[in-house]
Structure 1
Amino acid sequence: MVQFDGLRPARLKVGVISAGRVGTALGVALERAEHVVVACSAISEASRQRAGKWLPDSLILPAPDVAAAAELLLLAVPDTELAGIVSGLAATGAVRPGTIVVHTSGAAGIGVLAPLTEQGCLPLAIHPAMTFTGADEDITRLAESCFGVTAADEVGYAIAEALTLEIGAEPFRVEETARALYHAALSHGGNHLVTVIDDALSALRAALPGRVGAVTAEDPDGIAERVLGPLVRAALANTLRDGRAALTGPVARGDSAAVARHLAALGDVDPGLAEAYRTNALRTARRAGASDEVMAVLTQ
């Protein structure tokens, strides 16, 4: 049985399933908070290399053995694999009663851990609201992140929040019934931003000298990134600070002629990109209370 100093976790033996981008980064962060990653599972060669680099003192073991060695078991597997991993561990009886079992899925709450909860484990959902690329900065970014936590009771929340604070991040509570909405918000803001920026870079490259009318992913000089980067960073900072008041551009100004020219130019090089622009511009126009002339251009 895991012992606690009040509601603050003692130094814990941590098991990580598996040593992917998220699991490795969190394992390192927990070790820096003086916990000990005693074992991890790593099936792919990339995961083995990652574990060898970042968790060199941890044993690489099959998942049931990792679970058996842990006081804090971190399930950092893809969302689609989480329920199967939990069911498999419950069937083997590998997880000892009293073990803190944490998963890192954004979409799922603690319900998915029910088979292990029924065996006496303490279930926690602790999701870092951060993107992970496998680069070294993943670990640094954790300390700049907020973590969405869900627990069964106040004791669970206290433990989840203490663990999060220990690694330098900021915890906030997400109700079990709100996990899907929470995850949708992060996906819309994080994942779809990549698509919008990639679209903008493609259009900008097509406007460069010698490339007009040819959408391409190639930009050996990186000029499109240098042009768009400062604008995007400023827009993001302004939006996070000022919300909708940060909006600028032709939709906000009511410049329907400019919007029409944008749609025509984008349509010439990529009709799909033009439709994406129309969809986003229409949503922007409705929020900005745009003029009838702008709405007419976007809805024709």
Structure 2
Amino acid sequence: MLSHTIFSLSFAVIAMSLASDGLPSFSVIFWIMVAFLSARTGANAINRFIDAEIDAKNPRTSTRQLPQGEIRKKEVIVLTVVCFLIMIFAAAMLNPLCLILSPIALFLMVIYSYTKRFTWACHLVLGLTSALAPVGAWIAVTGELAWLPILIGTANTLWVAGFDVIYGSQDYEFDTKNNIHSIPARFGVDHALKIAASFHGITIILLVVIGLLSSQLGALYYIGLGLIAILFIIEHRIISPENLSNVKLASYNINQVISIVFLLFGTTAALL
């Protein structure tokens, strides 16, 4: 699902570029991309498997492949297992620390789908799972962890959690009736949208701090952040508790553009 993959791809590529002070070898780039794409595909597949019954009840998701019987659960499990095995193999091809930490990544990718059953913080768990990409890319290059990739991962976490809260607002009635936990269901749509805005505000602050801490990121990086800040403002201005008709545009389409902007400006700044 390339449209979903892009939400972590930009952070992963920038983290990789900063870690290597340019670009790492072709083999490192190759195995990072293999690990990244297989993990993301497997995570999406297992999410659809775990949520199949919930998706069937929700009018918004009832047309997905599993509820419609277009694919079988066995097929989804096979796809998930294959993807996760490829991810573990790719991690082993990178360095020992990547391999050692790969079970943690697998755990988060599986447990996320269950969190909506018991905690409104499920959006943050989704964000944390996405943040595995930049942190993992850094470790893949350097073989060790540092504070900068943790900050990049935290920014990725809050960014994804913020737009996932916006997206979840459209399911407020369904979630409250079916005991599905989410920030909108717990705090109401009005407060949820304010929480999402605060997440994105902190994201911008963290990205500025990352720029200040990294000598590789210059003026071009901050121009990109300025564009992202404008897009965040637009995103939060086109929705309200009274008008959620633009939820998909605000939560996905605009953030896809944000990811591309961050990828282009951030990577170019890191490589110059």
TM norm structure 2: 0.24
Q: Which has the higher contact order (CA 8 A, sep 6+)?
A: 2
Whose radius of gyration is greater, 1 or 2? 1
**Larger strand share, 1 or 2:** 1
